[in-house]
Amino acid sequence: MARHFVRLKLRLIRNGLRLGSAQVVGLVLSLCVALPLAGLGFTLLAVVPRAEPDARLPVAVLSFTAVFVGWLLAPLLAFGTDDTLDPARLALLPLTRRQLMTGLLAASTIGVVPLAILVALSGAVVGFSPPGPGAVVVVAAVVVELLLCVTASRALVTSLSGFLRSRRARDISVVVSVTLVLVFNLAVQVSGRVLGAADRAAVDQLAKVLGWLPPGLVARAAVDAGDGHLLTALGELGLGAAAVVVLLMVWAAALDRLSTTAESATTTTRAPGLFSGILRFLPRTRSGAVAAKDLRYAWRDPRRRAGLISVAPVAFLPLASILFSDGGAGPVLVLAALTSAGLVVIQSLNHLGMDGPPYWVNVAAGEDLRADLGGKTLATVLLGTPLCTGVALMIAALTGGWAYVPLVVVLAVGLLLLGTGVSNVVSVLAPQPVPEGTNPWASGNTGQGCATGLITLLGMGVMAVLCVPVVIAVVGALAVWRPGLVAVSLVTVAYGYVLWRAGLAMAARRAEGRLPELLEAISPKRAG
Amino acid sequence: MSTEAPSADGGPGEEGGTGHHALLLVNLAKSFATMRAVDGVSLAVPHGCFFGLVGPNGAGKTTALRMATGLLRPDAGTAVVDGIDVWRDPRAAKARIGVLPEDLRLFDRLTGTELLSYTGLLRSMPEVVIGERSVELLGVLGLSEAANTLVVDYSHGMRKKVALAAALLHGPRILFLDEPFEAIDPVSARAIRGVLERYTDGGATVIFSSHVMELVERLCDRVAVMHQGRVVSEGSLDEVRGSRASLEDAFVELVGATEVDSRGLGWLGTSSG
């Protein structure tokens, strides 16, 4: 049975590559990342114990624990990318639980990442093995560590899979994964500084504590075997193996539960009305309805919410630079809040494509592209302006540049109009279908990823060029006569409005009467 | 058989006569890549009629309906709704029709009520009217309790019903329904049927496609059978049925399906494990 699963997994990887060059590139990229990391891990575990005997224990314990935690979390973030290993899919096959478990275990050791980790861990065999029977214990420790990783991750995924399948959980996981990527980036930057400062004693202390958890115990077994304490090593290994058995039991119980319970349904009740709450002031017209829908979608649609969240770190970059600088930041820095306006606009570059197939409702109601684009502009301005204002207020609180806040508000409106003018044209001239599904990183198999990226870049370039006069005027006013900024910001609104009207006219001329074709263009081609 | 259908070569006299029909299709054609999905379809549907469009999977029903409702541009031919050419004056034509598509792609992160407000405002209806009709439609279709639930959390039947409510909201004279009863539980089907019967009693026209022959037989006055992109038979229920016992027999015969050969497959149902 294990053989069947392994062959299934290999076949899936091979068939995946046949889908197109994107998958091949993906595999090559992941090999390029994984193999050097594997080499690094191997070297660390193979060389450090011999070269620096004092560091043996912390290196072993910390690396075994890191591998364990990483293996545990990875499938949670990428859940849904490998449906074949989703036990619910296999529930109808006449497999015994034992067959299912051995098969799934074997299959989850196949792949680039498990291979890389096996390579890295086998460094321990080189680094710790003493001559004699102790070497067997070290090899066993590596195997037990691998088993720990695989069973723990399977048990966790299976226990959570009912939850992960629900709509709400998938929505949340999109946001969580985006947030984690952002946090990870931050952590990498911060940890460099922290590790540089941390003293050895703290690391030793941490290793001591982690040494009592199963992966740590297994690591200690390898270290003790290397030192010749065979009995201690065997004891520690036994505890690690016992943990594997416990995890297998947890997993078995979770599998039973999964095959006998149905998915839970989620229902979300919202305040009644498209225009309830803060959207009460919107006009009750076609444009108003489109704006209200887009604003509600900004938070309710996980893809757009993820986009909005990814704006946050850039929006707060000015804040961070103030906090890390030595207090030399001037009040002018408030103007940096405008970068978040740019980010909101960039996300609107394909705003018709973001609507996708449901846009048929607008087409069936009779074409009125101007009203639809007007509503989308309204939504972008209403989303971007408060965002900019909020960031500006925060920077002002730190720098005292309150006088610049009203200027930011006015400039934001002008720049958002300018940007939407461009995105109205781009989304009509080059509409891109957005693949369905909730994974914001998935570009699908449409081979569209590259084209979409180029069009986005082109749109951003046009926006940047159109912004040049504004930047020159602002910088000039700052250098020559600061009150002139008031005039500059007002003129920017007029400038943005003119460009927006021009963009709308261009888009309408191009697409008036061609909405059915536009609808085809934004509908992803369905497989099969 | 198809006395009311316009002759394929002549077509209708420009304006004369088209006003008598809720829907008039003349030589409508559409190809995708190498496949001719709709191959010269001509149809005439009188006002106040409950019209069934039947055919096997891939017969071109959905494509024909999409072209008739202004969602997919035909390669050739004309579609006239209530006397208005759909592709010459789409706005006026679309004001008269309501559409329930097969695949039900909706803005499903809105609640039922919100989706109806959105649809109504797209058609420039007054907000008060939208509110009143929404409450009434959701009530009749049994969706009152789910009115403030996101459509993404609706069941399939509920999605069909809310889409039907959206199609009826502006009181269209002609309603196009693509597979309204597919994958629908009997309770929802009955609710939908009730609304549709009341709708046609008021003199409006329903044109729907379906696989369910019993339903077509029960509901429709007139039927057209499509096969491989063409209309192979059209007329009143009796005309299409002819001497055959049921519409299903007529359908199977027209479409040319072969009886299942009972000699093979002898192993079916013999598995011990």
User: Based on the structure, what is the number of domains in chain B?
Assistant: 1
CA separation for the pair B251, A460 (Å, rounded): 57
Q: For residue range A282-308, what is the model confidence (pLDDT) as tens digits? A: 999 999 999 999 999 888 887 777 777
Q: Which of A95-99, A168-172, A191-195, A267-271 has the lowest mean pLDDT?
A: A191-195
Contact A365 B94 (CB under 8 A): yes
Residue A166, min C-alpha distance to chain B (Å): 10
DSSP assignments along A67-88, one per residue:
HHHHHHHHHHHTTTS-GGG-GG
Nearest CA in chain B to A266: B153
Where residue B224 falls among pLDDT bands split at 50, 70, 90? very high
Residue B163, min C-alpha distance to chain A (Å): 10
Provide the CATH number for the domain around residue B194: 3.40.50.300
**Residue of B118, B138, B149, B154 for testing the chain A interface, max A β-carbons within 10 Å:** B118
Are B129 and B120 a contacting pair, CB within 8 Å?
Answer: yes
> Which of A289, A356, A366 is the closest to B90 by Cβ?
A366
CA separation for the pair A221, A225 (Å, rounded): 6
Where residue B77 falls among pLDDT bands split at 50, 70, 90? very high
The answer to whether residue B33 is domain-embedded is no
Identify which of A61-65, A118-122, A196-200, B62-66 has the greatest average pLDDT. B62-66
Q: For residue range A419-437, what is the model confidence (pLDDT) as tens digits? A: 999 999 999 988 877 765 5
State yes or no: pLDDT of A105 exceeds 60: yes
CB pairs under 8 A between A and B: 109
A262 contacts on B by Cβ (under 8 Å): none
A277 contacts on B by Cβ (under 8 Å): none
Q: Which residue has the higher pLDDT, A527 or A482?
A: A482
Are A300 and A384 a contacting pair, CB within 8 Å?
Answer: no
pLDDT for the residue numbered B74: 93
Q: Which of A164-168, B25-29, B129-133 has the lowest mean pLDDT?
A: A164-168
Where residue A162 falls among pLDDT bands split at 50, 70, 90? low
Interface list for chain A against chain B, based on CB atoms closer than 8 Å: 94, 167, 265-275, 284-286, 288-290, 292-293, 296-297, 300-301, 355-358, 360-368, 513, 516-517, 519-520
Contact A289 B110 (CB under 8 A): no
Residue B228, min C-alpha distance to chain A (Å): 19
State yes or no: pLDDT of B9 exceeds 60: no
Q: For residue range B89-100, what is the model confidence (pLDDT) as tens digits? A: 999 999 999 999
Contact A356 B105 (CB under 8 A): yes
Place of tokens 């040049």: A468
Range of the domain at B163: 49-59+97-255
Give the mean model confidence (pLDDT) for residues B44-49: 90
Provide CB contacts within 8 A for A452, sequence distance 6+. Answer: A350, A432, A443
Q: Which residue has the higher pLDDT, A347 or A307?
A: A347
Where residue B42 falls among pLDDT bands split at 50, 70, 90? very high
Contact A367 B90 (CB under 8 A): yes
State yes or no: pLDDT of A380 exceeds 90: yes
Where residue A192 falls among pLDDT bands split at 50, 70, 90? low
> Which of A271, A296, A366 is the closest to B123 by Cβ?
A366
Give the mean model confidence (pLDDT) for residues A42-63: 82
Contact B152 A297 (CB under 8 A): no
Phi, psi for B211 (deg, rounded to 5): -100, -15
The answer to whether residue B85 is domain-embedded is no
Residue B179, min C-alpha distance to chain A (Å): 17
Q: How many CA atoms lie within 13 A of A377 on its CB side?
A: 27
**Residue of A99, A165, A166, A284 for testing the chain B interface, max B β-carbons within 10 Å:** A284
Residues 3-22 of B with CB under 8 A from A: none
A273 contacts on B by Cβ (under 8 Å): 113-114, 117
CA separation for the pair A279, A291 (Å, rounded): 9
Q: How many helices (H) and strands (E) does chain B have?
A: 9, 10
Eight-state DSSP code of residue A187:
H
Residues 85-124 of B with CB under 8 A from A: 90-91, 94-95, 99, 101, 103, 105-111, 113-114, 117-119, 121-124
Cβ atoms within 10 Å of A299's Cβ, excluding its own: 12
Nearest CA in chain B to A360: B71
A359, amino acid identity: Y
The answer to whether residue B125 is domain-embedded is yes
Where residue A76 falls among pLDDT bands split at 50, 70, 90? low
Provide CB contacts within 8 A for B264, sequence distance 6+. Answer: none
Where residue A446 falls among pLDDT bands split at 50, 70, 90? very low
> Which of A286, A357, A364 is the closest to B124 by Cβ?
A286
Helix (H) or strand (E) holding B226: strand B222-227
Instruction: Choose among A223, A233, A260: nearest CA to A87.
Output: A260
Contact A361 B147 (CB under 8 A): no
Q: How many CA atoms lie within 13 A of A173 on its CB side?
A: 22
Q: How far is CA B32 from CA B35, B231, B235, in A?
A: 5, 19, 29
Residue B151, min C-alpha distance to chain A (Å): 9
pLDDT for the residue numbered A35: 83
The answer to whether residue B107 is domain-embedded is yes
Where residue A191 falls among pLDDT bands split at 50, 70, 90? low
> Which of B101, B118, B150 is the closest to A274 by Cβ?
B118
Contact B121 A357 (CB under 8 A): no
Instruction: Choose among A371, A351, A383: nearest CA to A459.
Output: A351
For all residues of chain A together, what is the average pLDDT?
79
Please classify residue A324 by burial: count the beta carbons closer than 10 Å to its beta carbon, then call 0-12 exposed, 13-18 middle and 19+ buried.
exposed
Question: Apex CA A162: angle with CA A161 and CA A167, to 5°?
Answer: 100
- Residues linked to residue B149 through DSSP beta bridges, in sequence order: A269
The answer to whether residue B39 is domain-embedded is no
pLDDT for the residue numbered B92: 92
A167 contacts on B by Cβ (under 8 Å): 152-153
A517 contacts on B by Cβ (under 8 Å): 73
Structure tokens at A346: 């960039």
Identify which of A191-200, A221-230, B109-118 has the greatest average pLDDT. B109-118
pLDDT for the residue numbered A493: 95
User: Edge-to-edge strand order for the sheet containing B21-32?
Assistant: B35-46, B21-32, B76-81, B84-85
pLDDT for the residue numbered B12: 42
CA separation for the pair A109, A98 (Å, rounded): 17
> Which of A271, A300, A365 is the closest to B122 by Cβ?
A365
Q: For residue range A306-342, what is the model confidence (pLDDT) as tens digits? A: 777 767 666 666 666 666 555 555 778 888 888 888 8
For the question of an ipTM over 0.90, the answer is no
Classified as helix, coil or strand, B234 is strand
> Which of B110, B113, B123 is the closest to A365 by Cβ?
B123
**Residue of B31, B63, B81, B121 for testing the chain A interface, max A β-carbons within 10 Å:** B121
- Dihedral angle, C-alpha A273, A275, A276, A277, nearest 10 °: 160
Q: How many CA atoms lie within 13 A of B153 on its CB side?
A: 24
B108 contacts on A by Cβ (under 8 Å): 358
Q: For residue range B238-265, what is the model confidence (pLDDT) as tens digits? A: 888 888 888 888 888 888 765 556 667 7
The answer to whether residue B65 is domain-embedded is no
Please classify residue B34 by burial: count the beta carbons closer than 10 Å to its beta carbon, then call 0-12 exposed, 13-18 middle and 19+ buried.
exposed
The answer to whether residue B71 is domain-embedded is no
Q: In this complex, is the C-beta atom of B153 within 8 Å of any C-beta atom belonging to chain A?
A: yes
The answer to whether residue B242 is domain-embedded is yes
State yes or no: pLDDT of A418 exceeds 80: yes
pLDDT for the residue numbered A442: 39
pLDDT for the residue numbered B5: 42
Residue B216, min C-alpha distance to chain A (Å): 25
CA separation for the pair A143, A83 (Å, rounded): 26
Instruction: Choose among B257, B272, B193: nearest CA to B59.
Output: B257
Q: Is the dihedral of CA B241, B244, B248, B249 positive or negative?
A: negative
pLDDT for the residue numbered A318: 62
Distance, CA of A24 to chain centre: 21
> Which of A167, A266, A358 is the closest to B107 by Cβ?
A358
Are B200 and B16 a contacting pair, CB within 8 Å?
Answer: no
pLDDT for the residue numbered A97: 77
State yes or no: pLDDT of A197 exceeds 60: no
Contact B91 A366 (CB under 8 A): yes
